[in-house]
Amino acid sequence: MNAQQTGVTDPIELAFTVACTPAHAFGVWATRTAMWWPSSHTRSGDPATVVTFEPGEGGRIYERTPAGVQHDWGRILAWEPPGRLVYLWHLDATDPTDATEVTVTFTPAEGGATLVTIVHQGWERLAADGRERRRRNLGGWAGLLSHYRRATVELAQ
């Protein structure tokens, strides 16, 4: 996995390959999220929390605990299976207007694999909090993506 992390408000850029088609990679990311998203990366921390990306532009991204409590995480800006997903992201923000933007692209690669590219940007909109939130999110991506990569294999079987 490559990560660009030069400036304090520069986008976080990640790229890696998964051994599946773009359609499968997109589907695991956006429609089977609850099957791989770790509870350590939710607001509630409950292991039975369900994470949902509502399909289509304007759809919500949220978690629902077993008790039915919902925490909104963001909104879908572009839903273009199997190639592209763009969303506003405010999981760790107390105010949804402090959302950053995530673009995930799924590009065919050699041997039937898929290049997944993530660009997480908008840190400059957060003023003084931008540097710290970017730092935390860089670590968050590192802890999250191994779960996704494993799921692209496990959910293909």
Element (H, E) at 153: helix 130-154
Instruction: For residue 129, give the CATH number of its domain.
Output: 3.30.530.20
Does position 8 have pLDDT exceeding 90, yes or no?
A: no
User: In this predicted model, what pLDDT tens digit does every residue of 50-67 receive, in sequence order?
Assistant: 999 999 999 999 999 999
Q: Which residues pair with 72 in a beta bridge?
A: 62
Number of domains within the chain: 1
Does position 5 have pLDDT exceeding 60, yes or no?
A: no
**What pLDDT does 3 receive?**
47
Does position 28 have pLDDT exceeding 60, yes or no?
A: yes
- Taking the model in full, what pTM does it have? 0.92
User: In this predicted model, what pLDDT tens digit does every residue of 97-128 receive, in sequence order?
Assistant: 889 999 999 999 999 999 999 999 999 988 88
Residue 19 sits at φ, ψ, to 5 deg, of -90, 65
Q: Is residue 72 part of a domain?
A: no
Domain that holds residue 26: 2-36+78-154
CB within 8 A of 105, min separation 6: which ones? 83, 84, 85, 115, 116, 117
Residue 139 sits at φ, ψ, to 5 deg, of -65, -40
